[in-house]
Structure 1
Amino acid sequence: MKLKYKYKVLIVITIMINLAISCRKPEDNNNNNSSCNGIGTMIPYTWFDPARFPKAVIPADNQMFVERIALGKKLFYDTQLSNNGESCETCHKQSMGFSASEVSSFDNGLQKMPLVNMAWYNNFMWSGRITGTLEDVMFAELTKRFTTDFNKINTIQEYKDLFCRYYGTDNITPELMAKPLAQFMRVLVSKNNKYDRFLLGLENLSIDEKAGHDIFFTEKGDCFHCHVQVLLTDNQMHNNGLDSVYKKDIDKGFYKVTGNLQDMGKFRSSNLRNVALRTEFMHDGRFKTLEEVVNFYNKDVHRGVANIDPVMLKPGKENGLNLTELEKKQLVAFLKTLTDNDFINNPDFKQ
């Protein structure tokens, strides 16, 4: 009798367990990793800082792997990230140093900044409205610029498989997608233009290029204060006397971020690498040639602006740089040495 009783109890327990399992609510694959088997084997990406460059900081929670960078490149060129058929590449053409030939309508007329050597930045956008890491920038681009539909993205099995394999989850969120995009942004490194080779003793500059170099990196031109050696940007905010009256909202710059009048008209120093490939200059693209830019600094700076950068008011510069026509041509000649043909033709960056 005792044995039969034990069997009956066992049968009842089994039935209860089966009922509990059958009644459990099905899990949503978009909110868990039930269909994901975890991170697969990946090849570590060996990062190195080019000669004379400062040390870049790679976030500990987004270590670099070859496969993650490839995923970031795939996303960079994918129009499915937007809702209007655009991709990141729409505004950032490799042939133009990952810039573009027109201002951004989305940004109310701001010029499209080049994507170059951003691994060494901590301030981003013309107005400095994003600080932190490239992951922060990519998150903002996905959520504010593209307003990416992540319900749609999570129906794309290819992406679910790739994120599972390289990040250990198939639930694709803005925070997660920002990571491979940031990795691709990080490897967009320009390090082999004529100026770089000159610094390394591998190539000589022409007479005019060397004269322009000396203007750029001395008090004669004062360019180097904001466009520092090697990186060619100090990544800081400056008012360069471009305007005395801020007619357009976008002309207010860093003030739009801080609300501090001392920041009115301040903008982040643009990186001058591959500058000769661009067709629009300054935050609003008002100048169309390098010659126009040099002429502005030579004689058209608004020195009466209350918060103008002190560099613009140095003794002897009350009437501008006072460069001769020859010196202006020499300065432009040096700026053209900043074009990196390896960078704009690198097959690793192409679609």
Structure 2
Amino acid sequence: MKKSGIIISASVLATVFAVNFTACKKENQQSNTPGILIQEPNLKAEDNKYLEKHGVNNDLAVLGRVLFYDKNLSVNNQVSCGSCHKQEFAFADNVKVNKGFNGIDLKRNSPSIQGLRGFGNDNSTDFNSNTGGFNPPTETSMPTKDNQTDLLLFWDGRQNSLADMVLNPVLNHNEMNIPDFETLINKINSISYYPELFNKAFGSSEVTKEKIAYALQGFIACLNTDKDTGKNTNFNSEPFEDNFSPVLITSTLTGIEEEGRKLFHNKYNCAKCHDSNPQDPGEYGAVTSPSQMFNIGLDEVYTDKGLGALTKKQGDQGLFKVPTLKNISVTGPYMHDGRFNNLGEVIDHYSHNIKPNNNLSPLFRNFDGTPKKLNILPAEKSALIAFLNTLKDEDFLTSPMYSDPFKK
């Protein structure tokens, strides 16, 4: 999802919009403005509990939700952010790779965008103690790439700014293909339901790139499932057994699920990468530190070089971000290229299929440099999968708060 570096001529744009209008007119009623898809979001007041649950202003999150699911944000009204990041799949998708606005396969698997941080700054002016939520942004408080430095976004970690990330797919020439921000703003200004939504969120119906980005961030900031996901599992930070894992205080895990949890945290130490925040044990969220990118031996020679494609450094080739394990049972296919169809195939990789590679992480090397073979037993594999399945949050996957408001 990188920004397009292509300059599109006026004649090409005219052709694209003309073809789009003809095609869409057959299936969708159009407004008086060519290229606009007529639809009305179905917004219910009882669904708007963003402030109560996530500390995000309700009106801001509602605007962000509408923008997130609005196909008008693509050049031919065929693709929205929600087309690749679907609620029922924990805002990932169930296909190897998605297709862009033109039906062409995209390069990578769509990662889950749940649990992303970076909304709002540390400035005290951003938080309103009276409402318990974030204020609309000012010129000085607007999140920018310069005041967000603790994030790791996309599979290759190429951005640390959520403010930039949310609009990248809109301008990407393979994904949504809006040519520039002026075109995007003009298009949104032509849609009947946005003046009221922007006015509620910002006190003004004026549409700007910054407001669009901030509203999208506000909604995405709500895409967080509770730490105690699915089954009742509560932890404290006291060490046990390997001086790394959290102690399980209360649990409704079954015998096989509890066995999987112990294997995860102890014998195979999956938590070294997937639950490495000592301040928040049991989180299983996406790791945001750039030091937590790994080459896990998927290939001997990587076609997609990950971080190495950006840095051009030999030592960075094949390094990719550690994903969240929240709702992991519904986010397959897995890995940056969607090569593994299910969790069993993922475990098989770590068990006996790690490939030799010059950049293979030391975590997966023997003393002689050869790839480790964990040789996970069939019963252990079943237990690990049973435990990972407990990280599913049904409410998060079905709540109207996060759903597509344009679905009838």
TM norm structure 1: 0.75
> Per the alignment, in what secondary structure is the counterpart of residue 113 of structure 2?
coil
Which residue is 2:220 aligned to? 185
Query: When the two structures are aligned, how many residues end up with a matched partner?
Result: 290
Distance 1:194 1:162, change over 3 A: closer
- Please tell me whether the aligned partners of residues 91 and 112 of structure 1 are also in contact (alpha carbons under 8 angstroms): yes
- Larger radius of gyration, structure 1 or 2? 1
Give the alignment of 1:63-142 within 5 angstroms: 64-84=56-76, 85-102=78-95, 103-106=97-100, 108-119=106-117, 122-132=151-161, 134-142=162-170
The one-letter code of the counterpart of 2:98 is S
SS at match of 1:256: helix
Deviations 1:281-307 (A, max 9, x none): 1111111111111000000101x3112
- Superposition deviation, residue 116 in structure 1: 0.9
Report the alpha carbon displacement of residue 165 of structure 1 after superposing the two structures with TM: 3.6
Deviations 1:202-258 (A, max 9, x none): 53211111111111112x2131121014133323321111111123xxx21111221
Q: 1:278 to 1:197 in 2, by over 3 A?
A: same
Tell me, yes or no, if structure 1 residue 320 matches structure 2 residue 373.
yes
CA contact (8 A) 2:164 2:213 kept: yes
Summarize deviations over 1:123-150 as a string: whole Å, max 9, x none: 1111111112x22211323333434432
Q: Secondary structure, in 3 states, of the residue corresponding to 1:150? A: helix
Amino acid at match of 1:70: V
CA distance in 2, matches of 1:89, 1:237: 26
List runs of 5+ in structure 2 lacking aligned partners.
Answer: 1-48, 119-149, 179-183, 236-247, 276-281
Range 340-349 or range 138-147, more displaced: 138-147
Please give the alpha-carbon distance, in whole angstroms, between the structure 2 residues aligned to 1:162 and 1:298: 51
Q: Tell me, in whole angstroms, the C-alpha distance in 1 between the residues paired with 2:400 and 2:116.
A: 19
Identify which of 330, 336, 344 aligns with 2:389. Answer: 336
**CA shift digits 1:67-96 (9 cap, x unpaired):** 101111111121111123111111111111
Q: 1:314 Cα shift? A: 5.3
Considering only aligned residues, what root-mean-square deviation do their CA atoms show, in Å? 2.6
Which of 259, 262, 265 matches 1:217?
Answer: 265
Inter-partner Cα distance in structure 2 for 1:315 and 1:195: 39
Structure 1 residues not aligned, in runs of 5+? 1-42, 49-62
Q: How far, CA to CA, are the matches of 2:53 and 2:398 in structure 1?
A: 20
Stretch moving more, 231-240 or 251-260: 231-240
Structure 1 partner of 2:273: 226
Percent of paired sites with the same residue:
31
Contact 1:128 1:257 in 2 (8 A): no
Residue 309 of structure 1: which of 358, 361, 364 is its match?
361
2:147 matched residue in structure 1: none
Answer whether contact 2:59 2:200 (CA < 8 A) is retained.
no
SS of residue paired to 1:283: coil
Q: Tell me the CA shift for residue 315 of structure 1.
A: 5.6
1:194-273 matched pairs, under 5 angstroms:
194=230, 197-199=233-235, 201-218=249-266, 220-228=267-275, 229-235=282-288, 236-247=292-303, 251-273=304-326
Which residue is equivalent to 2:332? Answer: 279
Cα distance change, pair 44–203 in 1 and its aligned pair in 2 (3 A): closer
Residue by residue, what CA displacement relative to the aligned partner does 1:294-350 show, whole Å, maximum 9, x if unpaired? 000000101x31121121125699541122111111111111111111211222112
CA gap of 1:105–1:320, structure 2 versus 1, over 3 A, is same
| 1:320–1:232 Cα change, 3 Å | farther
CA contact (8 A) 2:334 2:340 kept: yes
SS of the residue aligned with 1:83?
Answer: coil
SS in 1 for 2:117: helix
Deviation at 1:46, TM superposition (A): 5.1
